[in-house]
A and B are shown apart, each in its own frame.
Chain A
Amino acid sequence: MIRPVVLLPDPILSTPARPVTEFGEATLALAADLLDTMRGSSHSVGVAAPQIGVGIRAFALDVTGHRKAKSCHGELVLFNPEVVLAHGRDVGREGCMSVPDLTGDVARHTTIVVRGYTPEGDERVLECDAFEARALQHELDHLDGHVFLDRVVSSDRVFQRRVYR
């Protein structure tokens, strides 16, 4: 089911999400909602559970076909993800479905290794680089209660999205 996306300043976006302790129907249902919501927004490559109002450590991501992507694991849903290894640094401009009016320049690691669990509870370890690594770190931030605005490289690198009025 496509869920409405929560917008700033909803407090759930600044609250660290809880890990799941049991995998089963609930994680499968949440994964389905995350995927539906992500697929339902043609302009976004990912969505984290807090963005649909669920304070659980989970996100969906898919960078398939993105011009800046190198590594690509296709459609992903990860629960309880953690960064095992990270290196490199690159600045890129990010926007977020939960922050509709603004974009900003954010520094991210260029390569990360992440460990997490599928909705069924199977462990996965993924090595991601370039755009997939950036997108993953953006979603991981949501699980810690951060949006990209908390990470912009400086206050003058925040911009109105697209149209000026």
Chain B
Amino acid sequence: MAHELSITAIGADRPGVVAGVTGALAALDANLEDTSMTILGGRFAMVLIVEVPEEVDVAAVEVALAFPASELHLDISVHPSDPTGASSEGERWSVSVYGADRPGIVHRFALALADARVNITDLATRVIGDPARPVYAMLLDVVIPEDVDAATVESQLRAIAGELEVECSMHAADADIL
């Protein structure tokens, strides 16, 4: 039976990284199920969930990726990864936080969300603005369970924002089907 693997690759950002990695995977008949690729701090980072035929194991994928890894200077890791089956049911909200950069911002917000049983489904951070006065921006997509009050979560986040002297706003992100 076909099975799923998770692959992460990170290295110098240059043309040909996606082509090199996906070419080696295509040669194994691996099907890309879900991917996220972006530039993080000047490095190109890829996370891939691939479905591979039964006879293709982790070692076979590591061998196949060894050539693009050395040629493109990528750190690659491959792991077995079955879907967990966890699902997030509830209301979707977007949270944005921005302000002066300081350690611990992500942790404080994430901890408050976890304590409220709010699941983070997407999180991206960026440092933007003038290098002399950098602004830290964080965007989160979260799912608030039906029995949790969004207004309460929002006031908790605002209290943390006040303590950390950053701005925080939250808005419903349920899409309209048009």
Contacts and interface: CB of A to CB of B under 8 A. Distances in A.
A116 to B, nearest CB: 17
Contacts of A138: 178
A146 B176 CA distance: 17
Interface residues of A, number: 28
Given A156-B38, A159-B122, A165 B85 contact: yes
Interface in B120-135: 121-122, 124
A163 B89 CA distance: 6
Nearest to A45: B178
Interface in B158-176: 173-176
Count class of interface residues, chain B:
10 to 19
Most buried by B among A46, A103, A131: A103
B141 interface: yes
Contact of A135 (B38, B83, B175, B178): B178
Q: Is the interface of B mostly helix, strand, loop or mixed?
A: loop
A93 B87 CA distance: 21
Interface string A4-38: 00000000000000000000000000000000000
Contact of A156 (B87, B124, B176): B124
B177 A43 contact: yes
Given A163-B87, A164-B88, A165-B83, A93 B177 contact: no
Interface string B22-40: 0000000000000000100
Contacts of A46: 178
Contacts of A134: 176, 178
B178 A93 contact: no
B175 A139 contact: no
Contacts of A131: 176
Given A165-B83, A165-B85, A45 B177 contact: yes
Interface string A136-165: 001100000000100000001001011111
A164 B177 contact: no
B85 A44 contact: no
Given A159-B122, A165-B83, A68 B176 contact: yes
Contacts of A162: 89, 92
Contacts of B86: 164
B178 A159 contact: no
B178 A95 contact: yes
Interface string A58-88: 0000000010100000000000000000000
B74 to A, nearest CB: 21
Contacts of B87: 163-165
Sorted nearest first, the 6 A-B pairs with minimum C-beta distance are A103-B175, A138-B178, A95-B175, A93-B175, A95-B177, A44-B177
13 contacts: A41-B177, A44-B177, A45-B176, A45-B178, A46-B178, A94-B175, A94-B176, A96-B178, A139-B178, A159-B141, A162-B92, A164-B121, A165-B83
Interface of B: 38, 83, 85-89, 92, 121-122, 124, 141, 173-178
Interface of A: 41, 43-46, 66, 68, 92-97, 103-104, 131, 134-135, 138-139, 148, 156, 159, 161-165
